[in-house]
Amino acid sequence: MKIKALLTSAGINIGLCVLFLSLYSVLRKQPANVRVYFGRRIAEEHNRVRGAFILERFVPSTGWIVKALQCTEEEMLAAAGLDAVAFNRMLVFSMRIFSLAALLCVFGILPLNYFGQNIHHLRIPSEQLDIFTIGNVGVKSRWLWVHCVVIYIISGVACILLYIEYKHIARLRLLHLRRPTPNPGQFTVLVRGIPKTSKESCSNDVDDFFTKYHAPSYLFHQVVYKSGKVQKIMTGAKKAYRKFKDFKDTTVDQSCGAISYRCCLCGASSNSFQLLPTEFGQSTEKADLNDSSLNKDDEECAAAFVFFKTRYGALVAAEVLQTSNPTKWVTDLAPEPDDVYWSNIWLPYKQLWIRRIATLLGSIVFMFVFLLPVTFIQGLSQLEKLQQKLPFLKGILKTKYMNELVTGYLPSVILQIFLYTVAPIMILFSTLEGPTSHSERKRSACCKVMYFLIWNVFFVNVLSGTVINQLEFFSSPKDIPIQLARAVPGQATFLITYVLTSGWASLSSELMQLFGLIWNFIRKYILRMKEDTEFVPSFPYHTEVPKVMLFGLLGFTCSILAPLILPFLLVYFFLGYVVYRNQLLNVYRTRYDTGGLYWPIAHNTVIFSLVLTQIICLGVFGLKESPVAAGFTIPLIILTLLFNQYCRKRLLPLFKTFPAQDLIDMDREDERSGRMEHIHHRLHSAYCQFPDTEDIQLEKITTVGNDEDRGCGSAESAGKETGEEQQPRRDLSHPTLKGLPISRLQTAVRSITFLIRLQKRGLS
Amino acid sequence: MKIKALLTSAGINIGLCVLFLSLYSVLRKQPANVRVYFGRRIAEEHNRVRGAFILERFVPSTGWIVKALQCTEEEMLAAAGLDAVAFNRMLVFSMRIFSLAALLCVFGILPLNYFGQNIHHLRIPSEQLDIFTIGNVGVKSRWLWVHCVVIYIISGVACILLYIEYKHIARLRLLHLRRPTPNPGQFTVLVRGIPKTSKESCSNDVDDFFTKYHAPSYLFHQVVYKSGKVQKIMTGAKKAYRKFKDFKDTTVDQSCGAISYRCCLCGASSNSFQLLPTEFGQSTEKADLNDSSLNKDDEECAAAFVFFKTRYGALVAAEVLQTSNPTKWVTDLAPEPDDVYWSNIWLPYKQLWIRRIATLLGSIVFMFVFLLPVTFIQGLSQLEKLQQKLPFLKGILKTKYMNELVTGYLPSVILQIFLYTVAPIMILFSTLEGPTSHSERKRSACCKVMYFLIWNVFFVNVLSGTVINQLEFFSSPKDIPIQLARAVPGQATFLITYVLTSGWASLSSELMQLFGLIWNFIRKYILRMKEDTEFVPSFPYHTEVPKVMLFGLLGFTCSILAPLILPFLLVYFFLGYVVYRNQLLNVYRTRYDTGGLYWPIAHNTVIFSLVLTQIICLGVFGLKESPVAAGFTIPLIILTLLFNQYCRKRLLPLFKTFPAQDLIDMDREDERSGRMEHIHHRLHSAYCQFPDTEDIQLEKITTVGNDEDRGCGSAESAGKETGEEQQPRRDLSHPTLKGLPISRLQTAVRSITFLIRLQKRGLS
């Protein structure tokens, strides 16, 4: 590929980018699209929507860029959470290190490469791109020490910057932990693997165990029920049957006796009623829905939330091995209430390790199956091969323009389209793995997508050109540096176009929110549905973090070998910085947060990229027969790995647990100020397994800005769901009944008739 | 090598074994050797030594074998600790699995191998050994499914047995934890990385921190001082100087003021004096050795023992991350007092990770440097090569007997001699690594020796015959199964002779205790030294565990390929079972115990051996072009790895921490029975950094059977060491002064003059 073709490709992309950005700056001003472009603001800040028609709306502007850049880190933290800040720091880190790398490589390495051999130079636009790579430097060149020094500088500065960022995120994580709004997750432990005893109910078991062994800090608990679809129907039917039975029998003093049972649905223990005498009126109402004889059947609990008096108490209970069987009474700090992934939480703990292995194997298989389209794409950039195989293309490809388009642009676009399927599949794998929180699921998917991208975009593409079979690559580890050193400069063309198309274009499409825009249009003008104010997507960290890190990997590996990629990459990072900040502030809503756990992933990827770069350079110096440069690269690899090890010792533990000192200080602070009781009070309604989503949404809308009294809302919904036919008087009074879907009532009716039939058979 | 040569070798070894065993049964009855063969019994059980001359003493007997076999597991546990039981279980496991393997392979596989190809069979003694290996089975043989079934049976039974043993050891570990004699280590946390604050002393810092954050369970603490050699001299000198100053100045009310300072040497905090008013008289005596102005200089503490009221309190403090800097206030459960490795305990925590990496690199380098002698040895078993290189040997090697001796015997003997250097070097590496306990050091050395043996005895010897350069072996991982499949059957000769010489002979020499015997003789009759009753060696787990596991590895890998090794191996294991039991019961003394932590190492090695065996079989089936057998081997590998993963989840956590339930139950039991106060009382004198070994020994002898009042004994030794010249009256009254070495006094005098000179210069 020639410089000219590259410039064609760059021209197309710059044009597209400017077009999309202008389009965005116009579209965002249209009131119709406000839900697409300001989802977070509307959902969280309740801005009013201005609908006036003014000409200004149709003039492209750059105000949004200024706004995105002006936002401080504190504002970002408040608006989009710690993960957003961590993601932002990844971009900042990339911008910094690649600015330096671009400076050093474009002005230091590029001329050395270009004038590396005494060949006749054409005019620059007609030069082959290979002239600018290290492949053009002569064997035993005297100038290879410059490359070696530059790789030292880049690695050193990258490590320093990484350490600063890591420390910064760790500090923010501690601040996040100490944030003023108390987080119920800090007081709560998720217990799994509760052993079944035939005598007592599961809830009693949990209560006994924690009263016995964690008495000083144990508060109360809440059992989690299995909630498969069948389970849901059966539970509903049983409850209905119970109500049915209640009607037949006389139930005189049930309301008195039942107080000591747990609230069946939201699972708060009896303590909650003792501690909250104001709820007594409600609780009797709830309690008479329960029946001690039937309660036992519901007790197939597999997990429970256990609440503690102090954060430190919860931490200790979570960290300590409870019993002599490590698969029983497994305790972990609970995710935050909004973060809980309810459909996984009741999975038997014993299954999890096998699920993890199965999904790991599944992901690996998927990674290799994906090789097929990638190999095909790689064929496109080697036109001669393609023309041999598909002779009818010869005519089309003879025109020069088409030729440049196909080699410079098409392969990445096709790859891009295939890559769109990766994220959903990886999310599916991560779901099957059985994480207990949304954030954990996303983080796990993030790692999977990362491995996938690095393998399929970098290794396979780079190596498919040189090695016939990719699988053979790993069969000779000793030759890897040499193989890579031969392959990477040769694939510079592909990598640069990948940055141009995949990088720049993905940013534009991210900014435009094409899917959202089209969907919004269809909803509004074709389906004529009501606006759904609540549905605001959360930021797809599992696709964006790997993307940014992949470009970082490309940047590091190509920096010395093919420095021409760096300006294009810098544009990507600068543009990305603006676009992602804008999107995080305006579009996406943060429902759950990992608390900066994406940073260690990013850190590891950067270290991997650095070491890979150094290994490739080692191979290159070996090929160029420069033993001095190669010899100096080996200590650099060791130093980089030592630095990583130091970070693992010094900073990683903070991302795995919380320091006792901070938790104890917070507990004391809360106790001193008297806030603790209020926090304990709120814990009772924090976790709610079967919230009626519509309920909550309606409630939220009515009690906006005052969501403290939100409550669990499930006891009411229980009455509503099943008691419909029997006690219409009581339930109709509920303000949310209007929104109840008919299908639920039908299910309940069907289940009741089924159960009655069953009982009849049993009796006769 | 022919069967005849093998039988020659076996004959020599059997003869030697019988000779040594008879010799042992005679020697052990001689009163002069009683310290060599009954070290543990004499040191621990205080048996009286019978000196009467009877003829019976000179007749070989087998009574010791019966005695060794009769000992139950409980007796073993009481006499030699949990590690001995775990080691015993390794032997039992090996005996069981290899009995089965021998049965299956000798009667099932061996005939198949022997009649594998339609060749003319000689008389068996003249047959080449290769005829009995799988190499003799024809390509595409119909009988390979038998090999496949046998490998399935062996792997399956091995996994079942492993699981049973693992569970058994885990149960014993819990029982060990719950043993009636209270263990101070369970109440104690070792704190490292104590941050330096300029204002207060280190001891105050520790006190403040734990009073603030662990108030409910914190009891008191004890600071550990740096104790390098230079440090020791300087400390001695300073103390002497202080005494010197005391003489010049008037010290009126020092004994009153000094009570609030810590005891400088044994490091018990001031609390200890408050809690133990009976020690008041002693403590004033100690305290007037201290001086507040000089105390601060001693405060360069790097570690402290912190004592807690309950076991659970200590566990919690040890498991939780203390502060937001993971390298500060690092807490771990303390080793037991006898187990503490004092010279490492004050190492700065920040150094440890780098020490660990350095020793890892050091061990790897050592492993490869060791290749040189091994390669030389391998040359010996290939006589033709050797004769070419060293032509003068031709004459000697022409005699048939010499030839057989050299090929069958000499290589292993030389290898064995070289291997003797390995254990001390690995112990040295492990010491440099910075473990805080003797047991941890030994365990770490055990792992290193294990890797070393497996690499240098198995891989290098097996592969050096086929692959030219061992380093090339790992450069093509895909071919490993094929490479191994080619190499292992070919090296069966060497492996069998290795079992005969290294295995059998090492057991005999272990039993004979040749070094101990000779040293005892020299001491007694040449140097005429007094008998040292206290010096009884502890069992060298770091050499014996890897040895047994290595033979296990040889057994598994050869079982299918060259079943002829199995009978020899079985003899080794049965003999080893008797010998090691005898040695553990009579010779070695258990001063410290890892609590069964050798078992996970053994488990991992067995799993590694199984997987390696399966991979080799996969290669063999591939070579023999039997896709069915090869295809069936792959799921077996996966199943074995899954089993290992299950054990890691189910049982390994018990070897990493202690279950809270058990600790809390024990705490409650002790509190209910009123033993807790007694335990707390004993904690004050549990850890003692500078015990005067001679002191303690004398004390021990006088207070045998009543070692509760042993005390720290170091305050006295302080006065003794340095106060000699100044206050002869007080110190001469001490009963142990007689044994004081002159060199110490000289050092003190030299230091004093040095310091006086220094002070004069400062004044003038």
pLDDT for B179-205, tens place per residue?
A: 877 788 889 999 988 887 777 778 888
| Option in A319, A472, A653 nearest B326 (CB) | A653
- Interface probe, candidates A320, A640, A656, chain B, greatest B C-beta count within 10 A: A320
Confidence of residue A706 (pLDDT cuts 50, 70, 90): very low
How much is the pLDDT for B472? Answer: 56
The answer to whether the CB atoms of B654 and A478 lie below 8 A apart is no
Q: For residue A465, which of A482, A485, A496, A490 has the smallest C-alpha distance?
A: A490
How much is the pLDDT for A245? Answer: 59
Mean pLDDT for the stretch of residues B452-468: 73
The answer to whether the CB atoms of A326 and B650 lie below 8 A apart is yes
| Option in B212, B320, B642 nearest A316 (CB) | B320
The answer to whether the CB atoms of B322 and A661 lie below 8 A apart is yes
pLDDT for B717-742, tens place per residue?
A: 333 333 333 333 333 334 333 344 45
- Which residue would you say has higher pLDDT here, A740 or A344? A344
DSSP sequence for A189-209? EEEE-PPP-SSS-HHHHHHHH
Q: For residue A457, which of A428, A499, A489, A511 has the smallest C-alpha distance?
A: A499
- Which residue would you say has higher pLDDT here, B358 or B504? B358
Q: Which residues in chain B touch residue A472, judged by CB atoms under 8 angstroms apart? A: 478
Q: Which of A277-281, A328-332, B504-508, B752-756 has the highest mean pLDDT?
A: A328-332
Taking the Cβ of residue A385 and every Cβ of chain B, the question of whether any pair is shorter than 8 Å is answered with no
Q: What is the mean pLDDT of chain B?
A: 76
Confidence of residue B609 (pLDDT cuts 50, 70, 90): very high
- Interface probe, candidates B306, B311, B321, chain A, greatest A C-beta count within 10 A: B321
As given in the structure block, the two tokens for residue B198 are 């300029």
- How far, rounded to the nearest angstrom, does the alpha carbon of residue A447 sit from its chain's CA centroid? 9
- Interface probe, candidates B324, B640, B658, chain A, greatest A C-beta count within 10 A: B324
Residue ranges of alpha helices (H) inside A390-473 are 393-398, 400-408, 410-419, 422-432, 438-453, 460-464, 470-473
- Phi, psi (rounded to 5 degrees) for A672: -65, -40
Burial level of B49, CB count in 10 A (0-12/13-18/19+)?
exposed
- Distance, in Å, from the CA atom of A580 to the CA atom of A228, rounded to the nearest integer, reads 37
- Phi, psi (rounded to 5 degrees) for B346: -95, 5
Taking the Cβ of residue B677 and every Cβ of chain A, the question of whether any pair is shorter than 8 Å is answered with no
How much is the pLDDT for B281? Answer: 37
pLDDT for A475-504, tens place per residue?
A: 566 677 777 777 777 777 778 888 887 788
Kindly report the nearest CA distance between residue A325 and chain B, in angstroms: 7
Kindly report the nearest CA distance between residue B436 and chain A, in angstroms: 18
Q: Which residue from B minimizes the CA distance to A641?
A: B357
The answer to whether the CB atoms of A660 and B477 lie below 8 A apart is no
Kindly report the nearest CA distance between residue B715 and chain A, in angstroms: 36
Q: Which residues in chain B touch residue A322, judged by CB atoms under 8 angstroms apart? A: 659-661
Q: Which residues in chain B touch residue A651, judged by CB atoms under 8 angstroms apart? A: 326
Confidence of residue A383 (pLDDT cuts 50, 70, 90): low
As given in the structure block, the two tokens for residue A196 are 């079944």
Mean pLDDT for the stretch of residues A172-191: 87
The answer to whether the CB atoms of A653 and B324 lie below 8 A apart is no
Please enumerate in sequence order all residues whose Cβ is within 8 A of that of A617, keeping only pairs 6 or more positions apart, or say none: A147, A148, A151, A485, A560, A561, A629, A633
Q: Is the pLDDT of residue A254 over 50?
A: no
How much is the pLDDT for B262? Answer: 38
Q: Global pTM?
A: 0.79
Q: Which residues in chain A touch residue B316, judged by CB atoms under 8 angstroms apart? A: 316, 319-320
- Interface probe, candidates B661, B662, B665, chain A, greatest A C-beta count within 10 A: B661
Between β-strands B188-192 and B330-333, what pairing exists: parallel, antiparallel or unpaired?
Answer: antiparallel
Please enumerate in sequence order all residues whose Cβ is within 8 A of that of A277, keeping only pairs 6 or more positions apart, or say none: none
Q: Which of A22-31, A94-103, A408-417, B104-113 has the highest mean pLDDT?
A: A94-103
How much is the pLDDT for B716? Answer: 34
Between β-strands A218-224 and A303-308, what pairing exists: parallel, antiparallel or unpaired?
Answer: antiparallel
Residue ranges of alpha helices (H) inside A625-692 are 627-650, 660-673, 675-683
Least confident window among A120-134, A176-190, A277-291, B287-301: A277-291
Q: Is the pLDDT of residue A432 over 60?
A: yes
How much is the pLDDT for B102? Answer: 93
Q: Beta-strand (E) ranges in B269-388?
A: 303-308, 330-333
The answer to whether the CB atoms of A658 and B170 lie below 8 A apart is no
Contact of B529 with B596, CB cutoff 8 Å: no
Taking the Cβ of residue B195 and every Cβ of chain A, the question of whether any pair is shorter than 8 Å is answered with no
- Whether the CA torsion A428, A430, A434, A436 is positive or negative: it is negative
- Which residue would you say has higher pLDDT here, B425 or B197? B425
Q: Is the pLDDT of residue B31 over 60?
A: yes
Q: What is the mean pLDDT of chain A?
A: 76
The answer to whether the CB atoms of A661 and B315 lie below 8 A apart is no
Please enumerate in sequence order all residues whose Cβ is within 8 A of that of A589, keeping only pairs 6 or more positions apart, or say none: A39, A40, A43, A44, A536, A537, A538
Least confident window among B262-276, B451-465, B501-515, B571-585: B262-276
Contact of A499 with A507, CB cutoff 8 Å: no
As given in the structure block, the two tokens for residue A143 are 């100038």
Q: Is the pLDDT of residue B100 over 90?
A: yes
Residue ranges of alpha helices (H) inside B409-523 are 410-419, 422-433, 438-453, 460-464, 480-490, 492-498, 506-512, 514-521
The answer to whether the CB atoms of B664 and A213 lie below 8 A apart is yes
Mean pLDDT for the stretch of residues B286-307: 56
- Distance, in Å, from the CA atom of A695 to the CA atom of A116, rounded to the nearest integer, reads 71
Burial level of A22, CB count in 10 A (0-12/13-18/19+)?
middle
Taking the Cβ of residue A138 and every Cβ of chain B, the question of whether any pair is shorter than 8 Å is answered with no
Task: Please give the ipTM for the structure prediction.
Answer: 0.77
Confidence of residue A654 (pLDDT cuts 50, 70, 90): very high
- Whether the CA torsion B133, B139, B143, B145 is positive or negative: it is positive
Q: Which residues in chain B touch residue A316, judged by CB atoms under 8 angstroms apart? A: 316, 319-320
Mean pLDDT for the stretch of residues A79-93: 92
Q: Is the pLDDT of residue B160 over 90?
A: yes
Please give the span between the terminal C-alpha atoms of chain A, in angstroms, as a whole number: 85
Q: Is the pLDDT of residue A695 over 50?
A: no
Mean pLDDT for the stretch of residues A639-663: 92
The answer to whether the CB atoms of A213 and B660 lie below 8 A apart is yes
How much is the pLDDT for A763? Answer: 45
pLDDT for A572-611, tens place per residue?
A: 999 999 999 988 888 888 888 888 899 999 999 999 999 9
- Distance, in Å, from the CA atom of A293 to the CA atom of A412, rounded to the nearest integer, reads 64
Q: Which residue from A minimizes the CA distance to B477?
A: A475
Kindly report the nearest CA distance between residue B750 and chain A, in angstroms: 43
Q: Which residue from A minimizes the CA distance to B654?
A: A324
| Option in B323, B326, B475 nearest A649 (CB) | B326
